[in-house]
Amino acid sequence: MTYSKLTLRPLAKSVLLALASASYLSQPAWAETDTTAEAVESNASPSVERIQVTGRLLSSAAITAAERRGQAQVSEFLDAEMIGRIGDSDVGAALKRVTGLTLVDNKFIYVRGLGERYSSTLLNGAMVPSPDPTRNVVPLDMFPTGIIDSLAVLKSYSVDQPASFGGGGVNIRTLSLPRERIFEVNLGTGFNTLNSDNGLTYSGGSDDWRGRDDGTRALPNQINQALDAYGSLETISIARTLGPLNAQTLSQAREINRELGTAFNRNMDVTDKSIGPDFDASVTYGDRIQLSDRWTVGAVASIAYDSSSRNIDEQERYFSITQGSNLTPLVRYDDISGTEYSTQLSGILSAGINYDNTHRLEGTHIYLLDTADEVKLKVGDSIETINEPNRENMDYSVRYEERTMVANQIRGKHAFEWLWDLGVDWQWTDARARRYAPGEVEYRYVRNTNADGVTTAALRRSDNAVQYVFADMRDSTENGSVDVRLPIDTNRWQLEFQSGYTYFQRARESEVDRFKFDSRGFSNLELQQSFSQIFSDQNILDPSKNFAISDITAQADDYVAAQQLDAAYLGLDALYNDTWRFTLGARYEDFRQVALPLNPANGQIEGNPADYPLLDDDWYPSAAVTWLFHPDMQLRAGISQTVVRPDLREVTPVLYVDPITDFSVIGFAGLESSKLNNADLRWEWYLPSGNSLSVGAFYKDIDSPIETVEILGSDGNLLVSFRNAEQGRMYGVETEFVRRLGGLWQQAPNWLEQFFVAGNLTLSDSEIRIQPLGESNITNRERRMSGHSQYVVNAQLGFDSFNERHSATLSYNVFGSRINFAGVDGKDDAYEQPFHSVDATYSYYPTERLTLKLSAKNILGERTEILQQGEILQARDPGTSLGASLTYRF
């Protein structure tokens, strides 16, 4: 059977239906925890009432500490006040302050040193699609903190969560019903030190300011029509549709091919541009109305807009190994400049109704748009010029992508007092994500310097002088769940029986179109002109130039995929004599996944379809115990079994470029799921005034962990893929504390009461064994796991003035070096180096309604580096960012 691009969406649905082979039940992938004061009082043990604090941050710390204390599992929490205090603008930046968490590319969280593959992201307890086709988890930079109520990070597993659980999971809890009327307006601006120099730009579209392409970059309709009519843009394909293959039809086909070339947007000259300051604004309004003694309704709405620009300062290299351990450069670009223009637009509307605090119904609509428009110039050498001192490349690229996510969710919480206090929570979420990347363009000029020192630059003469890429990926998901709780009290036992069911399904359609321009018929003088002049209508249509456009869409660039999950669990939460808490349960999951690569020319499935499905069904038990041996202390321990499944892109043998590393990546259909055995132990000490201390240990045994490895590429370029190792394990300790400086010693001055310190430290190690690969010789078959850092440090020094008019925070974050990918053929592994991040914020509250906030990010001016045997593979300078914002509450 064959499929055209127009039938990708029905095909994805049919693949989804083919996976459905059983009846379904459902439960929330994450037990949602209410963060209202009433919920904190009900969840916390009686000793929490001793916490009395002053100061904005410590008050917030006390609430989150109470919530953490009431959890059965090891967990961390951040609420909106803490996030705002530190000054982070998005969820990803805020989460890097949590114990054992590190942030990669401002998007993805590594929990306890494990890569984003071992993390999961939930939205109000629901699984949602990712608009990033290269990652399974949702990029956290898409969620502005202005729509966040709190963040929950669970580090140990319980059966009411998805069994796909490695290092931990993040539950993003958005704004809910307000406790009072709120009307808030925020305006902000910012500047990055790299922007003191001019940036690069090109002619975009009229709607770029709102993060939308107006059609300028889109695949032209003429090209779509030609593909439908001829099947390909190749001259011979066109000629065959015109009649018998002869000189006349070939001539007509060449003319049609040239005319199609004029349909492309060729206004792609890269020019200089001065960079202005960033701008952001948001408006939030909400209210709660008491209709009667029992009925309450409320709603909250928020919209935010952010526009920013960042200049680029990078290096890229790639090496081969020669004699001994010496590295020889194959690719060397030490001068990479450019500019990335970002636009973010987000909105949330949530409304609900509450009856007698026993029944609550809420509906939430979330819209997120994150657009990145990158212009880059790379000056250096590829394998063709590396040994030619008078010749170098000037590689221009334009990458534009729109990432959107739309989620509609309805949730209910019910307590049936007349039915033995039975509690029922449920949610249904329909979400869609899209990555739309029209008109990615790459072309190369070669710069030559003659003996007299005269330099000229000309477009490369090649049948592949220019590449255009048009990509569109759409994900749609449905997620429904229900949780049931039945409490039973005896003289000494407080029991809660738990059960639930979750249903999740995802359908994905991804299509890519690639084209190239032939410049071999142009003269040297013509190739020294600007891009738009070389490929003017006149030159393209001139038969003497022999211009040609070719369709180079790769095999399996198009694919469809689907996932389905049915899960049910049974659990028991038992408290004995207010001293021992036992949480036991088991979860059963039936997981089905298939990713089918399609031939772009005829729509046929590539390979044997029987090789692609991934079927995984198993039981995942969990047990935890908490010993409440002291009014201020508790000791908790837990064991569990979980799974980490390969992502759709990782199992699809399609070549793509990782947007974070710029490395070429190809999937591997033979990946298997990784099974994990987890163990946690933690001691916690909660003191008055928000002070707290915790010390914990963890251990993970991983069967068939998925690793990122280098395989043999072509043309000197780096190519990485994924393989299962044999066995892996990770173990470590972590500690966290919050301490007010007042009272540190008996004669401590009173002004120290305004200061506090907070911090956390994670020390860990990992081991992995990986078998030899047929296509590459892995250098270190026993080593640390990819993405694992042996240490993670967070520290904060905070200030809250006695009159609550001033607050300030100085934050420090660093992670240890971690393997980016495994080296082969004698080359050592590539390590991402530690990044020392120092940030500062200051807030001034002249009135109860007005707040002025100043911030500085990356004060030390650190840059990120990936090294291999001491040589730089990749380096990026993020610059130092300065910001100011003004918030007024009406």
Pair 855, 150: CB distance under 8 Å: no
Residue with tokens 């249509």: 541
Residue 46, burial from CB neighbour count under 10 angstroms (0-12, 13-18, 19+): exposed
According to DSSP, the β-strands at 493-517 and 549-551 are antiparallel
Pair 604, 555: CB distance under 8 Å: no
User: What DSSP designation does 827 have?
Assistant: P
Q: What is the identity of the amino acid at 475?
A: D
Pair 502, 479: CB distance under 8 Å: yes
Pair 433, 478: CB distance under 8 Å: no
| Cα–Cα distance list, 588 to 16, 162, 199 (Å) | 21, 10, 54
Cα–Cα distance measured from residue 866 to residue 337, given in angstroms and rounded to the nearest whole number: 18
Pair 560, 593: CB distance under 8 Å: no
In 382-518, where do the E strands start and end?
391-416, 422-449, 455-459, 466-489, 493-517
Closest CA to 866 of 819, 815, 814: 819
Output b/e per residue, 89-117; b: 16+ Cβ within 10 A.
Answer: bbbbbbbbbbbbbbbbbebbbbbbbbbbb
What one-character-per-residue DSSP string does 731-773 give?
A: EEEEEEEEEESTTSSTT--GGGGGEEEEEEEEEEEEEEE----
- The CATH homologous superfamily of the domain defined by 5-219+267-517+554-889: TonB-dependent receptor, beta-barrel domain (2.40.170.20)
Cα–Cα distance measured from residue 167 to residue 100, given in angstroms and rounded to the nearest whole number: 10
The model's pTM is 0.85
Q: CB-hemisphere CA count at 13 Å for 562? A: 19
Cα–Cα distance measured from residue 759 to residue 232, given in angstroms and rounded to the nearest whole number: 60
Helices (H) and strands (E) in the chain, counts: 11, 42
Closest CA to 868 of 114, 116, 325: 325
Cα–Cα distance measured from residue 168 to residue 815, given in angstroms and rounded to the nearest whole number: 17
Q: What is the pLDDT of residue 139?
A: 62
For 521, list phi and psi in degrees, rounded to 5. Answer: -90, 0
In 175-246, where do the E strands start and end?
182-192, 199-201
Q: What is the pLDDT of residue 31?
A: 31
Pair 205, 214: CB distance under 8 Å: yes
> CA end-to-end span of the chain, whole Å?
62
Q: Which residues contact residue 207 at a Cβ distance below 8 angstroms, ignoring those fewer than 6 apart?
A: 213, 214
The angle subtended at Cα 857 by Cα 854 and Cα 862, nearest 5°, is: 155
Q: Which residues of the chain have pLDDT under 50?
A: 1-56, 87, 92
Closest CA to 868 of 62, 384, 84, 321: 321
Percent helix, strand and coil across the chain, each to the nearest 5: 15, 50, 30
Q: What is the pLDDT of residue 87?
A: 47
Does residue 267 sit in helix, strand or coil? Answer: coil
Cα–Cα distance measured from residue 769 to residue 526, given in angstroms and rounded to the nearest whole number: 56
Q: Which residues contact residue 517 at a Cβ distance below 8 angstroms, ignoring those fewer than 6 apart?
A: 261, 465, 466, 468, 535, 547, 548, 549
Cα–Cα distance measured from residue 547 to residue 261, given in angstroms and rounded to the nearest whole number: 8
